[in-house]
Structure 1
């Protein structure tokens, strides 16, 4: 079967699966809506914190990426309106602090953070916390004893024969990179620095605060990942005040896809990609375009840039 037909069949099957997932998710979303609270994340940059200056030579246009004027699709906002994400973020911060101090994680302490209002949702919150710390931080949340009341975070990084963890730095970068790429996609293929930090704050990653897994996160995002061509960091044109935005870089376009990033963000936030139909359709279109012959793909990109 020709390659193009295979990609269309895959896209058609994904749409059928999406309809099934959306129907299954409907009941869970209705329950969550009943306990909705204020937005999960505080304002992004603390007052008095100046935007960091981009590294030399990093104010560049994204290479190989078509220009776009879209901004903040409404469907993407549902990630940050999730009524449980604030509790997930609180527990993640608590777990990482205990991990740093090498202290036991007691279930009763986690329940206190969740408070009585959300006690009924504790299993769901803890499931999402476990998923998030594994995907983003490379840590597995395990019960110390089956059915017990205490937990431990265990590194999932590969340990070599000499006792050293291999590829740890790369894994740490990947977790944060996928989050940033996801926020950029959710906000219409470009996101302001404030929008990036607004989302990351909800997972306990803050400007100017060294992170146990990521180190200094602003440097990692605006310098290291920019120099490696995974991100583009540039000043917003025609803005009255100096502010910056981030876009996907050349290597991000080459090494991942919108569908992979959307699936990652859906797992982190406890939903399914098809719950965001506009973004899901865009990701499917991106998947199909990847199977086009190089000449056709180049001509299509050029037409979008005109």
Structure 2
């Protein structure tokens, strides 16, 4: 074969290999949640309140559910990976949603491992994570832990915190404060706080009252549908209209004078007690890799809410101190000797 023709064949083969490698790279990037960017197109549940920030350059109308949905598939893949005998549907889910890079597989496995430790109320150490999950990828420990922490925050509403830097001991903390009736109710299953924070975010950004249609629009974007059971969240309708209403996280009521009847959601008393508008806005901002001030209208409302909460705490503290003082005086008087 002439030398010139051989050179052409080699060049053609190199171009084919380059196209294949480029295709694999794009395909792999599509499975990594951290590389996703918020959609620039308007999102229906945000379009009523335009937001912009000269400081951050963030655009209005963000898509609230994108990263939450993508991270939930990673968590589900992690669960399927550790099943000893997955059924056919689980195997199908694993092949469809499983992250393709070795680092991303370790991220998914670490998510499930940390969830298991959280449910068992066992301590989490760096040594255990290296030995049981990360293994030969120990040089990527911080990257894997950071990505796993982001999944746990967005999907399950759990923050990973290092409580002992000297011994590298970590704990998972629920975003809801366990101050209402003494504890955060998780019913023995995986925490659903991430979804609850999303729903609370929709309610807050719709003027503190969201219609059922608006909430379902968001749930559908996340792949959650009425009557279709989800691996993480169970049956969505029961969760949002029964469970969370009974637990007083949500208020679900009929829209006044609606015929046929329509329904709407508000924050319940437990949501007001265990979180705040600022924390919920921080969660929404986290989804979009930005800061709460990127949404100035909601940020100003959240700041006012923080100030009101601070004043209420001061008043409550003063009342408690006054009651304690009065009780002490009454006790002292009752035990004083008559003259």
TM-score (norm 2): 0.47
Q: Which has the higher contact order (CA 8 A, sep 6+)?
A: 1
**1:293–1:274 Cα change, 3 Å:** closer
Aligned equivalent of 2:100: 107
1:202 aligns with 2:221: yes
Query: Relative to structure 1, is the Cα distance of residues 97 and 238 closer, same or farther in structure 2, using a 3 angstrom cutoff?
Result: same
Shift of residue 205, structure 1, vs aligned partner: 2.5
Moved >6 Å (runs of 4+): 127-130, 294-297
Q: Deviations over 1:106-136 (max 9, x none)?
A: 437xxxxxxxxxxxxxxxxxx9997355332
Map 1:263-274 → 2, pairs under 5 A: 263-274=282-293
Structure 2 counterpart of 1:52: none
Mapping 1:74-85, distance limit 5 Å: 74-75=50-51, 81-82=62-63
Distance 1:206-1:75 versus aligned 2 partners, 3 A rule: farther
Question: Is the 8 Å Cα contact of residues 65 and 287 (structure 2) preserved in structure 1?
Answer: no
Which moves more between the two structures, 244-253 or 197-206?
Answer: 197-206
Displacement of 1:244:
0.8
Structure 2 counterpart of 1:246: 265
Matched pairs, number: 198
Aligned to 1:73: 49
What is the distance in 2 between the residues matched to 1:135 and 1:268?
A: 7
How has the CA–CA distance of structure 1 residues 171 and 100 changed in structure 2, closer, same or farther, with 3 Å as cutoff?
closer
Q: Where in structure 2 are there 5+ consecutive unaligned residues?
A: 1-36, 53-58, 82-93, 102-145, 160-171, 175-184, 317-339
Correspondence 1:36 to 2:50: no
TM-score, scaled to structure 1: 0.52
1:91 to 2:70 alignment: yes
Report if aligned partners of 1:236, 1:242 keep a CA contact under 8 Å in 2.
Answer: yes
User: Counterparts in 2 of 1:5-16, with a 5 A limit?
Assistant: none
Query: Residue 36 and residue 217 in structure 1: after superposition, are their counterparts in 2 closer, same or farther (change >3 A)?
Result: same
Aligned 8 A contact 1:93 1:204 in 2:
no
For the Cα contact (< 8 Å) 1:274–1:280, is it kept in 2? Answer: yes
8 Å contact from structure 1 (residues 80, 199) kept in 2: no
SS in 1 for 2:311: coil
How far apart, CA to CA, are the structure 2 residues paired with 1:250 and 1:271? 28
For residue 100 of structure 1, report the CA deviation from its aligned partner.
Answer: 4.5
Conservation of the 8 A alpha-carbon contact between 1:131 and 1:268: no
Could you report, residue by residue, the CA deviation over 1:136-171 in whole angstroms, capped at 9, with x for unpaired residues?
23689xxxxxxxxxxxxxxx699xxxxxxx967476
Instruction: For residues 221-273 of structure 1, give each alpha carbon's deviation from its aligned partner in whole angstroms, at most 9, with x where no partner exists.
Output: 11111111111000111223321100011111122111111111211232211
Structure 2 counterpart of 1:232, from 251, 256, 271: 251
**Consecutive unaligned residues in structure 1, runs of 5 or more:** 1-31, 42-70, 109-126, 141-155, 159-165, 298-306
Give, in whole Å, the separation in 1 of the partners of 2:158 and 2:304: 33
Q: Any idea what the Cα deviations from partners look like across 1:43-95, whole Å, max 9, x if unmatched?
A: xxxxxxxxxxxxxxxxxxxxxxxxxxxx943339x77544x965x46634643
Matched, 1:180 2:199: yes
2:298 is aligned, of 258, 266, 279, to 279
Match of 1:191?
Answer: 210
Q: Distance in 2 between matches of 1:283 and 1:185?
A: 10
Deviates more, 1:193-202 or 1:253-262: 193-202
Asked if the contact 1:72–1:187 (Cα under 8 Å) also holds between the matched residues in 2, the reply is yes
